[in-house]
Amino acid sequence: MRGMLGAMARNSAPDNPLAPVTVAVGQEDLLLDRAVQEVVAAARAADADTDVRDLTSDQLQPGTLAELTSPSLFAERKVVVVRGAQDLSADTVKDVKAYLGAPAEEITLVLLHAGGAKGKGLLDAARKAGAREVACPKMTKPADRLAFVRSEFRALGRSATPEACQALVDSIGSDLRELASAVTQLAADVEGTIDEAVVGRYYTGRAEASSFTVADRAVEGRAAEALEALRWSLSTGVAPVMITSALAQGVRAIGKLSSARGGRPADLARELGMPPWKIDRVRQQMRGWTPDGVSVALRAVAEADAGVKGGGDDAEYALEKAVVAIARAARARRG
């Protein structure tokens, strides 16, 4: 076992996403997803047929890890992702700790851990075993989000003025996915240095984007954030009908993907008529959904649509009611 641990430590350099075990630590969803995507991309670059298993903590039961990591006749490369590792049961933690001592060939284990006191024993064991660690801290301070925007532009090889970076944070807010998407769009569309005037043209009063922010937060089950985004959108003049449209699209995407057969994002994108990036995003959003939840949410959207188009006296109340119903439906599987 000592030799295996030594090999694990040698293969766990920060620049080696194919280390036997990666631990992504923190609560920033975008960074956690990127940590997973980096490992999966590296694995598929080494073997295009890599099998990826993405599990929540309640799906990894005692004995499950042993089944997933048992030797295969075809010696296929595999990535096993465990989300919410801090919530694993005591018996499953024992399984994972045992595995850390003797990781399997051609298998990469990715543990996503919130980083707090809960489940700290597992995190400590992974670190002691030499696991590769990726920091994914929650960016709660405006200065952190500003630094993130700057780093995104740098990563794309683009130059943006400090005023442009600040304007982007001011326009979009705290959602890192929205910020990253905005940086990517600006880098693709704008030549030369990106300045404050460009950001203003793209993102000041962006009605469509703010409508989809409401929808994204609702289908993720984040009712308070969805309601906050809804009120901001309405206060800045976004038409209620745009918000009901975004809510409908968000719920329908959940329904489409939940009923589709499994497959790679590119295959599902062709089948469902969505871009691959949206397949990945909807997969993250649909974890708490049930078929009944989708039906309930679609009815809520229909009622809101009727209210917005004249069937009710208060469009804002109709939208708030729909947002709460969708967020509740999104958490049905989680109780």
pLDDT tens digit sequence for 86-113? 999 999 999 999 999 999 888 999 999 9
| pLDDT given for residue 1 in this prediction | 34
Residue 124 CA to chain centroid, in angstroms? Answer: 25
Phi then psi dihedrals of residue 55, to 5 deg = -120, 145
Residue 214 CA to chain centroid, in angstroms? Answer: 16
Which pTM does this prediction carry? 0.58
Residue 110 forms beta bridges with which residues? 22, 81
Burial of 201 from C-beta contacts in 10 A (0-12 / 13-18 / 19+): exposed
Q: Which CATH superfamily is domain 21-136 in?
A: P-loop containing nucleotide triphosphate hydrolases (3.40.50.300)
| pLDDT given for residue 173 in this prediction | 73
Rg of the Cα trace of the chain? 22
CATH topology of domain 211-330: Zinc Finger, Delta Prime; domain 3 (1.20.272)
**Whole-number Å distance between alpha carbons of 99 and 19:** 14
In a 13 Å sphere around the CA of 24, the CA atoms on its Cβ side amount to 24
- Residue 244, C-beta contacts closer than 8 angstroms, at least 6 positions apart: 301, 304, 305, 308, 319, 322
224 neighbors 245 (Cβ within 8 angstroms): no
**Whole-number Å distance between alpha carbons of 295 and 307:** 19
Spell out the domain ranges in the chain: 21-136, 142-203, 211-330
**Whole-number Å distance between alpha carbons of 59 and 51:** 17
| pLDDT given for residue 99 in this prediction | 94
Q: By three-state DSSP, how is residue 86 classified?
A: helix
- Report CA-CA distances (Å) from 192 to 151, 157, 179: 17, 11, 20
State the CB neighbour count (10 A cutoff) for residue 292.
10
Residue 83 forms beta bridges with which residues? 56
Tokens of 320: 């708030």
Q: Using alpha carbons only, what angle is made at residue 101 by residues 120 and 103, rounded to the nearest 5 degrees?
A: 110
Per-residue pLDDT of the chain (335 residues; tens, 9 = 90+): 333 333 343 344 457 899 999 999 999 989 999 999 999 999 999 998 898 999 999 999 999 999 998 876 566 789 999 999 999 999 999 999 999 999 988 899 999 999 989 999 999 999 999 999 999 998 888 889 899 999 999 999 999 999 899 888 877 777 888 889 889 988 888 889 998 888 877 775 554 557 888 898 999 999 998 998 888 878 766 778 888 988 998 898 888 888 765 666 666 666 666 666 677 778 888 888 888 999 999 999 999 988 887 755 688 899 999 999 999 998 876 55
Element (H, E) at 107: strand 107-113
Between 2.30.30, 1.10.150, 1.10.8, 1.10.3210, what CATH number should domain 142-203 receive?
Answer: 1.10.8
| pLDDT given for residue 90 in this prediction | 95
Q: Using alpha carbons only, what angle is made at residue 100 by residues 99 and 103, rounded to the nearest 5 degrees?
A: 70
| pLDDT given for residue 269 in this prediction | 65
**Whole-number Å distance between alpha carbons of 328 and 290:** 11
Residue 53 forms beta bridges with which residues? 80
